[in-house]
């Protein structure tokens, strides 16, 4: 016997709580299945689901209970008001990364001379969320995006085509593709892997078992990639360049110190996200 929308959601909520998942996940999955926005779904709570819809919903809720990310089932995630293709080859974009983009635009866009060609790079681009969003929000930028993963770059290219963003993609490790090409950058953003290896056991299976390890772990203390960045940055930054990193909560001061050691004259600041956690470090040289 088929259920009404509210009955299906009530079952899903109870099931997901029991499996230590977010109770609201069922709502997102059902929106996808019945092709309705949230307000439309809420307005149709007494509508009957078809047998096929109910079966698909039950399977998806069960899969999420077992740890499969909702975004991998739906195939997309929202970032800065746009829909990005995501899969197991890329990190699912997070709200904290939206804040990295927002702060960068707030700090730099209004301060940049309109006639100057500003070269930007997004390092470890994954789905391309940072690079594509920056290009669409600030069209005057010349934007490059790099990643060590060829599969991630394929996903990022699909997103850039779907969203009509003119981004140039380079394959390689951290700043090596730019160093090899003798390129200089005015703006660099990155959300590198920063989870300490020791945290592997405490991660949710939704993250640990389904998102690419290459995008998650940053060595024993989570800071390995930032150390490597600090070795390479002097080779690629133009005078007056601006750098923005996303960091793990509690890593802000350590990353700021690494940058300050590499660039003693630079202005380095730690920014806190809307939850009051130190999640961004910015540097102006």
What residues form the annotated binding site?
124-128, 147, 191-194
- Binding positions for substrate are 191-194
What beta strand segments (E) does 214-257 contain?
A: 237-246
Q: Is 253 left (phi over 0), alpha (psi -120 to 50) or beta?
A: alpha
φ, ψ of residue 180 to 5 degrees: the values are -65, -30
CA distances from 273 to 94, 99, 252, 269, 282 (A): 12, 7, 11, 13, 13
Half-sphere exposure of 71 (CA within 13 A, CB side): 21
Q: Roughly what angle, to the nearest 10 degrees, separates helices 25-34 and 51-65?
A: 150
3-state secondary structure of 83: strand
| 169 vs 145: CA distance, rounded Å | 5
Q: How many CB atoms lie within 10 A of CB 7?
A: 15
- Binding positions for S-adenosyl-L-methionine are 124-128, 147, 191
């Amino acid at each position: 016997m088929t259920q009404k929308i509210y009955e299906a959601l009530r079952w899903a909520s109870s099931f997901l709580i029991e499996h230590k998942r977010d109770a609201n996940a069922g709502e997102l999955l059902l929106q996808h299945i019945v092709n309705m926005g949230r307000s439309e779904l809420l307005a149709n709570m007494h509508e009957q689901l078809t047998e096929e819809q109910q079966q698909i919903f039950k399977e998806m809720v069960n899969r999420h209970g077992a740890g499969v990310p909702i975004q991998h089932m739906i195939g997309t995630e929202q970032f800065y008001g746009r829909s990005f293709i995501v899969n197991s080859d890329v990190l699912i974009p997070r709200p904290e990364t939206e804040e990295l983009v927002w702060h960068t635009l707030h700090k730099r866009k209004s301060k940049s001379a309109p006639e100057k060609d500003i070269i930007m790079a997004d390092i470890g681009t994954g789905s391309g969320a940072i690079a594509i969003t920056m290009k669409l929000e600030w069209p005057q930028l010349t934007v490059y995006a790099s990643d060590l993963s060829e599969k991630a770059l394929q996903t990022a290219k699909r997103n850039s085509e779907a969203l009509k963003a003119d981004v140039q993609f380079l394959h390689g490790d951290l700043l090596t593709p730019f160093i090899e090409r003798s390129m200089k950058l005015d703006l660099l953003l990155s959300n590198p892997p920063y989870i300490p290896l020791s945290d592997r056991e405490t991660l949710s299976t939704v993250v640990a078992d389904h998102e690419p390890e290459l995008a998650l772990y940053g060595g024993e203390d989570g800071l390995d990639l930032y150390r490597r960045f600090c070795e390479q940055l002097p080779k690629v930054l133009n005078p007056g360049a601006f750098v923005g990193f996303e960091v793990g909560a509690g890593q802000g001061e350590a990353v700021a110190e690494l940058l300050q050691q590499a660039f003693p004259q630079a202005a380095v600041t730690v920014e806190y996200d809307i939850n009051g956690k130190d999640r961004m470090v910015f540097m102006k040289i």
